[in-house]
Structure 1
């Protein structure tokens, strides 16, 4: 760990070590597996498992050291840098665990937070442990709720933590069904994340002695992080809290074989490139002018309502982060208070435009003016779709957007308005890729913050660099509009491996959501996460002689310095914990676990009370935007614990049905395929979508699109479980009967 600290403090500039991996069986197998991925089918069946050639797992000494605690059957967190081969260590632990003698059935659960990651890990188990039966379960299929069906017939089950949690909630499985649970990227075991909800169940079972034969826990991570810690002592407490959540006193790190790990884990040199503004930024001026126009409309609307006057008088500077928060507060007040419906609707619309303009300003600082035009067009396409539903004021706002786009498209013709940062990043990539001794092996990852930036930067770089035979492609997550499916993500990574794509422009999904092969160039384009993403992203550039380039404005560069400091703080904290007297550490962990389980027990009691006291009374759902009362609570039904539908036949008269053109994928949840969108007939607000079951479209609505009138104001709920009213449950067969009538 001292080596890691020194590397971070010296901008990762470590002397290149002799690379012995080329002659090792492990590297040969890794290369073969990369090739195997390139031709693999995402839907590989269990029957294909035995067709793979078995490769014995040969671990290096430092990897065996990382595995020691787990091989003794102890709960542990294996913490080692990206590129050190933690997956190989996990495969070895699983192999030895399944081979060990025990009267109890051995069943391993391997978890990763995202579907692409768990599919990649599944492929590894299939390839390297073919003598064991492995099952992949994803949330896309109905079988995700029937985990118990696969327990008797498999040795290894790969899934996301939410699937296991859902099955434990439904009591279809018990923790005692499993002998080993491996949590990949286990630093996410905190707060209300899926890993932590799962581990709370584990701790409740342990502390309250509710379950015998709990499974062994092994966590894998490159960085545990330090959260909001400002001192070394706070960092120690933070890491111990994560250890308590994972029920372990052990941190498995490389101590004895530090010199060996240096031969296999290459650390890139870090280079900083400050970003610059345009000398005369006409786009920024035009957007700020438009924001002033919208702000005037917002102010006039608020002054008509006595309850809004005070907050209007406290307006922050238009071009500040505080303004964004102020506008959001106005939006919340307009939505929850029982204002004049037209006034409330105008306030909500104004805030929507202001927030989009703020996003456009950020995009303008990173990209070209034409990209800002495209962004505004895409953002307000839904508004154009529902322009027939607009009030007079909303029509004026939409016309303002069209005027801004027209003006900006004229500015784009001026060379003085070109963004200098685009030329800097394209020149940097071209020079570094073409300067490589082995051009064919050169690969680059560019990290950006937002999907809009990812789309636009990809188009720009591909257009500029393709002349030099450097192809660029994007890599984004699965959620939201214009998202990528797992198959699209896998295909993109495979083409990156093969060299068809030399550059990937990626959102944070490539930081740890997808396993990306080695690169020699990693660029953060005005993107700084935290100390965890700092270590994760730096680890992506692990080819020998690689470079990690941080491009950013001063605020981003300062954040990166802080991340480096916090990463060093994390390593110091881990050293302190490893030197701590075991008894003292155990006492701290027991105290934290007792506190956590007491809180959970109180939460469970309150939740049970809420469920038992759910009000069985009449309530209405109103559109969150136009406040029109549209759904009677008596006509709501819930099926599969998740989907909420409306059984009133007259509901169809209150909605517009529109094709889902915002996503390129046909989303499947629990075996149901998402189809057309459901929108409010009066204002065009999205309410949900139809889901197809046995060719029958079932209207499924989201509670976030509605508000409930009560006590002179409106109440909002971000999840159906928080609704204080009782909703009848039903089976799909009953729904089919109702809708067919």
Structure 2
């Protein structure tokens, strides 16, 4: 079933979120925070991705030792406020305006009884929250959300058909909505004796209050023993919970991936179990894609069940080898790309006149000492002085190389397999990186000069 409710106060909450985002961005500018990793995520305020990005950003700021303590506290305060408004937006979309007011009143009034302990920005955001509550209370002639009535009627119908001993789960996106919807349904279904409780994650979350592990275990025991007939759960309700008697599953504008689809399908294993979707069109489209992926996974599992252990082991080994080869290929391409950037960026210039140049494409490190081998084309830019030939190992020393612009001695020419190879002394050069000149450092130079072969000369030279 499709949600078709015109959200009356969505624009009010989104405007409030934009105000807080502006406060956060102005704070970063005023405090000189230049780390782009701490920029706000942007995008759809109602999406799970937005809330996930806010939580991740808070964790990054808490771990950032370069930020002054007061700056970090102010930034986290803004992000916490955005998290509260995200949950208010979700409640507003799926519940009634009075439920939004109840949630905001708890966050900005009941949980803030000592405003004198707050810093300036916390007081400012607290006042914005209270102003938002007053704005909502002024809203009149807002029709109730018809989807709440739809859920209530559908649950009454399902429990009437399958019996009051049936167990059900409703999945929603946020903890705040789970708690608000559970409270609403507990009141509405009291007449047919269907106790309802919220089932949410642990108290370590950055959003609403959570349940301890003990509370979650006790809640599940009450559910299995039918003391509680209906749970309103976030994604934690789809992970590793085994209640075979559960035969009613409802998703209220809840979008999950293919793994969630498979896990939720496992919640309705009992014969005659039913799964109900109440979502807007965009969520339904995402779920259809996830359902198709889940179907593909099921078909793959069915095919695996028909194969023997040895065949499966061989398939896994082949896939691992292919994955490893793919990873090695990707790493090799990345290294080549990095080397290409280094070669185009790195140059050596004559240490005396600063003019005669040789770039990274034309040089190779020679046996990790203070010399580099250059391509023959480099000889067109220097002067040569022949000397008495002298054999050194498999090479013949033939000439001395000087800079054309000054008397700086740059290196020598050797004959290797009848080819002239310039061997340059790199302390006769300066390293040029962009517009900067500096003396070379062996440790820094090695990783720049140790590159793949660039010429036939170098290939022959490296074999000697």
TM more than 0.5: yes
* Equivalent residue number for residue 151 of structure 2: 425
Runs of 5+ unmatched residues, structure 1: 1-272, 598-741
Q: For 1:277 and 1:355, how far apart are their aligned partners in 2?
A: 23
User: Partners in 2 of 1:486 and 1:337 — Cα distance?
Assistant: 35
Among residues 186, 189, 204, which one is paired with 1:462 in the alignment? 186
1:585-610 CA deviation, whole Å, 9 max, x = no partner?
A: 4344457789999xxxxxxxxxxxxx
> Offset of 1:461 from its aligned partner?
0.6
Correspondence for 1:439 among 163, 173, 176? 163
Q: Is structure 2 residue 261 aligned with structure 1 residue 534?
A: yes
Residue 245 of structure 2 is matched in structure 1 by 518
Q: Distance in 2 between matches of 1:471 and 1:417?
A: 27
Q: Distance in 2 between matches of 1:542 and 1:459?
A: 27
Q: 2:230 matched to 1:506? A: no
Tell me which residue corresponds to 1:298.
24
| Structure-2 separation of matches of 1:493 and 1:558 | 35
**Cα displacement (A) at 1:460:** 0.4
Ranges in structure 2 where 5+ consecutive residues have no aligned partner: 325-464
1:396 aligns with 2:120: no
Q: CA deviation at 1:311?
A: 8.6
Deviation at 1:366, TM superposition (A): 1.7
Following superposition of structure 1 onto structure 2, how do residues 712-727 of structure 1 map, counting pairs within 5 Å?
A: none
Match runs of 1:569-584 below 5 Å: 569-578=296-305
Distance 1:450 1:535 in 2: 20
Q: Secondary structure at the match of 1:529?
A: coil
Alpha-carbon distance in structure 2 between the residues aligned to 1:488 and 1:344: 33
8 A Cα contact 1:330 1:347, kept in partner: no
Give 1:562 shift. 2.0
Q: Tell me the residue number matched to 1:564.
A: 291
CA contact (8 A) 1:478 1:484 kept: yes
Give yes or no for contact 1:527–1:552 (8 Å, CA) kept in 2: yes
1:402–1:506 Cα change, 3 Å: same
Preserved CA contact (<8 Å) 2:244 2:270: no
Going from structure 1 to structure 2, the CA distance change for 1:449 and 1:323 (only over 3 Å counts) comes to: closer
Q: Distance in 2 between matches of 1:462 and 1:366?
A: 16
Task: Quote the residue 1:375 is aligned against.
Answer: 103
Q: What secondary structure is seen at the aligned counterpart in 2 of 1:445?
A: strand
Q: Who is 1:384 aligned against? A: 112
Q: Hey, what's the Cα distance between the residues in 1 that align with 2:53 and 2:274?
A: 41
The answer on whether the counterparts of 2:197 and 2:232 sit within 8 Å (CA) in structure 1 is: yes
Contact 1:383/1:398 (8 A) holds in 2: no
Sort the Cα spacing of 1:494 and 1:581 in 2 relative to 1 into closer, same or farther, 3 A. closer
* 1:736 aligned partner: none
Distance apart, 1:491 and its partner CA: 5.8
Query: Contact between 1:278 and 1:417, CA under 8 Å: does it hold in 2?
Result: no
Query: 2:76 aligns to what?
Result: 348
Q: Work out the CA distance in 2 between the residues paired with 1:478 and 1:293.
A: 30
Q: State the alpha-carbon separation in 1 of the partners of residues 241 and 57 from structure 2.
A: 38
Q: CA-atom RMSD, angstroms?
A: 3.9
Q: 1:288 aligns with which of 14, 17, 36?
A: 14
Q: Once the two structures are superposed, what CA deviation does each residue of 1:110-155 show, in whole Å capped at 9, x if it has no partner?
A: xxxxxxxxxxxxxxxxxxxxxxxxxxxxxxxxxxxxxxxxxxxxxx
Tell me which of the two structures has the higher relative contact order, counting C-alpha pairs closer than 8 angstroms and 6 or more residues apart. Answer: 1
* Residues 489 and 409 of structure 1: CA distance in aligned 2, closer, same or farther (over 3 Å): farther
Pair 581,521 (structure 1): closer, same or farther in 2 beyond 3 Å: closer
Mapped to 2, the partners of 1:465 and 1:508 lie a distance apart of 23
CA shift digits 1:33-61 (9 cap, x unpaired): xxxxxxxxxxxxxxxxxxxxxxxxxxxxx
Compute the TM-score of the two structures, normalised by the length of structure 1: 0.38
Q: Deviations over 1:242-290 (max 9, x none)?
A: xxxxxxxxxxxxxxxxxxxxxxxxxxxxxxx1112325x12x2221222
Cα separation, 2, equivalents of 1:330 and 1:477: 20
* Aligned-partner SS, 1:416: coil
The answer to whether the 8 A contact 1:445-1:504 is kept is: yes
